Each structure stands twice: as structure tokens, then as C-alpha cells.
Amino acid sequence: MLQACLNGSRDKAFHADTPFTPAELAFQAEMVIAAGAGELHVHPRDASGAETLDPAHVAATLTAIRARVPGVPVGLSTHGGIAPGGKGRLDAVAGWTERPDYVSVNLIEDDAPEMIALALKRGIGVEAGLWSVADAERFVKLAEAPKCLRILIEINEQDETEGLAAAAGIRTVLARASLDVPILQHGLDATVWPLYRDALLRGLDGRIGLEDGKHLPNGDEAEGNAALIKAAFLMSRVPPNLAPEAIPAVGGG
């Protein structure tokens, strides 16, 4: 499965095609699904462009996206920096009138167990975000771990060798726990494509989009989310030993 992460905490200065409004997110959702993505991960924004978990903004975003791509799973982030922050995040999620198909929850955050429990109670799937071996060790001890929709191995290291090693360490902890939960592996900026290629080789799900990085495999800046998804879709269908530079640049973002 290839998930498209459309915006994250990026702004227009990072890339002019970064979508903020419900209409922009819905339009790009349709574009990336047409380009080969199977699911979506988005960060709703308020009128100022700030990330938010406010029920009204969440409902507007989900309604717009589902009108353009009905039936496509849509996930949201719950990371600690999103307004209103702290316990307010839990209160906001509890008040959602329009529920996403799933949410991502970072195990590095103190209230991760509470957020996971709340989401599951509300019938929302959980993607457990693991940034490190310590996160993985914390996660596998949770009673709710087997109930999660999937595990996200989220690599922030910018050195390729270090990033691949960090991912391997997390996978080792998960293997020892024998959890029957799907795994999605992705990198950030410099490690987007190395971690995606590694995920393909291991039969894991992947994630690509402006939240994680703006460059194509050949190093060129992508026109936008659709171009990134097209490149990822193509990479999944070429021999695994093909050099990244040999993946054609694609436009249409």
C-alpha cells in the first residue's frame, strides 16, 4: 500500500503546492489517488494555515476529501504540536463529529497510550508511530498494540546508513514481539527514497508526499504531491537494483 501524506506541518515557503484548505486537500487527494496512492494522510488547517484538531475544521476537511474520493481511507495526525496541544488534543478528538478512518499517534509522546485508547474506543483505527527502538519497546508492551491498524516506522535520521539502521532496530523489536500488525516504513527529506526503496524490498507499506519531502528520486524538486506519488508508483514497478537516478522524472503535480 502506498499512502500519500499531503501536507504535514509544511508551509507554502517549503513548497508552493502544499495544500491547506479543505478544497486544496480534496483536489490533491483526487490527484494522488489517480497517480497511484491507496490511502491518504492529512493535517487539517485553520483559517490561518495552522494545524488543528478542532472538530469543525476536521469535519470540513474530511467532508471535502470524501466528496472527491469516496471510499478512500483518510487518516489524520494527532502529534503533540497540533492545536490545542496537551490534554486539549484528547478533548478535541473526543469531540470529533466527523471521524477519520485512522489517526497516527507518536509513541514518543507521554499521552500516546491515552490517545490510542481514545481512538480505538471511538472506532478510529490507529497508526502507531515509532521513531526509535525505545518507542518500539514502549509500544509492544501496550495491551492495545495488537488492536492497532498498522505500525509506522518513522525515520527522522538524515544519514542514509543511520536511517536504515534505526529502522532495522525497530523492526527487530517488533519481530521479537511477534505482533501481527502491518508495517508502513518511511523516511524524511534526505532519507525519503532510501527508506521507501527499503520498504519495497521488504514487502512493507510505504508513504510519500510533501509532508516527508519535496524531491524526486533523481534529486529534482517535484511539481507537487501527484508527481511524488507517480515517482513512487513507478519505483514500485521497476527492478529493485535500479539506481534512483534511473527513475524518470515525472511532472503533473
Separation of CA 243 from chain center: 25
Q: Taking the CA of residue 207 as centre, how many other CA atoms within 13 Å lie in the half-sphere pointing to its CB?
A: 29
Write out the H or E segment, with its range, that includes residue 127. strand 125-130
Q: What is the largest CA-CA distance in the chain?
A: 48
Q: Look up the domain containing 130 and give its range.
A: 2-246
The DSSP result for 149-192, as a single string, is SEEEEE----SHHHHHHHHHHHHHHHHHHT----EEEE--GGGH
Q: Is 69 part of any domain?
A: yes
Q: Is 35 part of any domain?
A: yes
pLDDT in tens, the chain (253 residues): 999 999 999 999 999 999 999 999 999 999 999 999 999 999 999 999 999 999 999 999 999 999 999 999 999 999 999 988 888 999 999 999 999 999 999 999 999 999 999 999 999 999 999 999 999 999 999 999 999 999 999 999 999 999 999 999 999 999 999 999 999 999 999 999 999 999 999 999 999 999 999 999 999 999 999 999 999 999 998 755 554 444 443 433 3
CA distance linking residue 44 with residue 59, whole number of Å: 9
CATH of the domain at 72: 3.20.20.70
Number of domains in the chain: 1
Instruction: State the alpha helices, DSSP H only, in 36-158.
Output: 55-68, 87-94, 112-121, 133-140
Q: At 74, phi and psi to the nearest 5?
A: -125, 130
Q: Is 112 part of any domain?
A: yes
Q: What is the pLDDT of residues 188-207, one digit of tens each?
A: 999 999 999 999 999 999 99
Q: Is 253 part of any domain?
A: no
Residue pair 249/218 in contact (Cβ under 8 Å)? The answer is yes
Q: Is 12 part of any domain?
A: yes
CA distance linking residue 158 with residue 153, whole number of Å: 15
